[in-house]
């Protein structure tokens, strides 16, 4: 007997019929002799709808009240799944974030889980009952509802699995695993049998939304075994123990598993950044700090940064990227500080995309970046900025060329299926 946490995403929970399919999958897993706890997302589109209501009510909304509103999507689906499980003869009940509770810090709208009280879930399991837990929600020390940031149900599931010392955390979604790139963009994308925690962390952080970045770092830290698989499976499919999806594994495990690995594991694209260019910034110590200090204070995350070689020893240009959602605030902060920074011109470009190639093979092979630059150059795609890590190379390009760039890199690195 194993203990398994099963998480179902928004598309899997969208409507009565799909919830019935999910109930069947959960029931079969329990009937295979396992202890199961379930974590659910809101129905797809629901969180966006609720976020819009908040914006309409008050453009400068209070994040604590935003959390009260957006956490409700998961309350609905957890109750509906418990009802559906009961309708097919399973014992089930919902446990809302505040009822367990799942404690978080008070960073509303992007809270971090601090602890999970598992007493009720363990007692529930001991009674042969299926505990259904809404993802995304938590509770602060002074009992206010929080949410964990968009895509946060993945993190709820991994945190519940860690707290329960579960044997596995199965993340059921609308694709049957992690692919070499988004299978909705590149039809030739291939499903990966295994991907390492580090690779998944890089892929998630550069735009593969199949798992929330935080869920992967938590799984890595707590050594939770995570599997990504599809909830759109046959009514009579067996329980997931035969591991049909993608397993997230450690570096050591991978070595024994996958001898025929390509140099590059995956490619991701992210259109959610915007570019900022400061022209003629004084070329002297402290200039860069006068730009990025105030941005850090305003809690704006800067990603890629380029400082050009100084012009005639007096000034230089600085280019960087920020989340597009923070672009207006970035401009405001820079203008407020224009006297101290001393730039001549501020321009912005929201029409950019970051394309990243990721793979642990990069550690032992040279030429990965060069291959990327050549493939893009051959098709006339201009690179506006570059950044690298030990297992990743990212470039910034015109967002109109996103799909083309991902497709041609997928081919160039030999990933086409």
Q: Which residues bind ligand ADP (CB under 6 A)?
A: 9-11, 41, 44, 151, 173-175, 178-179, 181-184, 208-210, 266
Q: Which is nearer to Mg ion, 166 or 211 (CB)?
A: 211
What lies within 8 Å, CB to CB, of 217 at 6+ separation is: 201
Stretch that binds ligand ASP, among 109-117, 145-153, 343-351, 353-361 (CB under 6 A): 145-153
H or E element in which residue 7 lies: strand 3-8
Query: Among residues 151 and 266, whose Cβ is nearest to Mg ion?
Result: 151
Please choose, out of 18-26, 150-158, 349-357, 374-382, the segment that lies near ligand ASP by the rule CB under 6 A.
Answer: 150-158
Question: How far apart are CB 195 and ligand ADP at their closest, in Å?
Answer: 9
Instruction: Give the up-direction half-sphere exposure of residue 189: CA atoms within 13 A in the CB hemisphere.
Output: 23
198 binds, among Mg ion, ligand ASP, ligand ADP, none (CB under 5 to 8 A by kind): none
> Nearest distance from residue 77's CB to ligand ASP, in Å?
9
Instruction: Please state, as a whole number, how many other Cβ atoms lie within 10 Å of the Cβ of residue 65.
Output: 15
Report if residue 101 touches Mg ion, rule: CB under 5 A: no
CB of 184 to ligand ADP, least distance (A): 4
Secondary structure (3-state) at 311: strand
SS3 of 230, please? strand
The site that binds ligand ASP (CB under 6 A) totals a number of residues, namely 13
* Residue 386 β-bridge partners: 395
Q: How far apart are the first and last CA of the chain?
A: 36
Instruction: Examine residue 94 and tell whether it contacts ligand ASP (CB under 6 A).
Output: no
151 binds Mg ion (CB under 5 A): yes
Contact mark string toward Mg ion, 111..150, x via CB under 5 A: ----------------------------------------
What is the distance between the alpha carbons of residues 392 and 376, in angstroms, rounded to a whole number? 16
Sorted by sequence, the CB contacts under 8 Å of residue 65 that are 6+ apart come out as: 54
Region 42-61 residues binding ligand ASP, contact defined as CB under 6 A: 42, 47
Among 398, 399, 416, residue whose Cα is nearest residue 407: 416
Phi, psi values for residue 50, rounded to 5°: -70, -40
Q: Give me the least distance between CB of 182 and ligand ADP, in Å please.
A: 4
Segment 177 to 216, residues that bind ligand ASP, using CB under 6 A: none
To the nearest 5 percent, what fractions of the chain are helix, strand and coil? 40, 25, 35
């Amino acid at each position: 007997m194993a203990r398994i946490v099963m998480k179902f995403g928004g598309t899997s929970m969208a409507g009565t019929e799909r919830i019935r399919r999910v109930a069947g999958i959960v029931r079969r897993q329990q009937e295979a002799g396992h202890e199961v706890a379930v974590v659910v997302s809101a129905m797809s589109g629901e969180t966006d709808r609720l976020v819009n209501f908040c914006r309409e009510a008050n453009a400068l909304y209070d994040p604590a009240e935003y959390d009260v509103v957006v956490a409700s999507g998961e309350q609905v689906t957890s109750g509906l799944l418990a009802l559906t499980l009961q309708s097919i003869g399973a014992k089930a009940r919902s446990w809302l974030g505040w009822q367990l509770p799942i404690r978080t810090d008070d960073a509303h709208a992007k809270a971090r889980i601090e602890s999970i009280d598992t007493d009720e879930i363990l007692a529930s399991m001991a009674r042969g009952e299926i505990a259904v837990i809404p993802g995304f929600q938590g509770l602060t020390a002074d009992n206010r509802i929080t949410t964990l940031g968009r895509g946060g149900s993945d993190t709820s599931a991994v945190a519940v699995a860690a707290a329960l010392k579960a044997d596995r955390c199965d993340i059921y979604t609308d694709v049957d695993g992690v692919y070499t790139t988004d299978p909705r963009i590149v039809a030739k994308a291939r499903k990966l049998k295994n991907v390492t925690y580090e690779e998944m962390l890089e892929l998630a952080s550069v735009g593969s939304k199949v798992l929330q970045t935080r869920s992967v770092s938590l799984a890595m830290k707590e050594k939770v075994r995570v599997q990504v698989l599809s909830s759109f499976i046959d009514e009579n499919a067996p329980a997931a123990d035969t591991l049909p999806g993608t397993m997230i594994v450690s570096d050591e495990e991978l070595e024994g598993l996958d001898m025929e690995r390509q140099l590059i594991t995956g490619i991701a694209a992210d259109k959610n950044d915007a570019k900022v260019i400061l022209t003629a910034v004084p070329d002297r110590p402290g200039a860069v700090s006068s730009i990025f200090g105030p941005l850090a204070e305003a809690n704006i995350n800067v990603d890629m940064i380029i400082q050009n070689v100084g012009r005639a020893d007096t000034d230089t240009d600085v280019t960087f990227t920020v989340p597009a959602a923070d672009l207006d605030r970035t401009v405001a902060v820079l203008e407020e500080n224009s006297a101290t920074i001393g730039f001549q011109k501020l321009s912005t470009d929201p029409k950019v995309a970051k394309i990243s190639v990721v793979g642990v093979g990069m550690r032992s092979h040279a030429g990965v970046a060069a291959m990327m630059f050549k493939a893009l150059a051959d098709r006339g795609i201009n690179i506006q900025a570059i950044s690298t890590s030990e297992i990743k190379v990212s470039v910034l390009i015109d967002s109109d060329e996103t799909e083309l760039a991902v497709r041609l890199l997928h081919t160039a690195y030999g990933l086409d299926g």
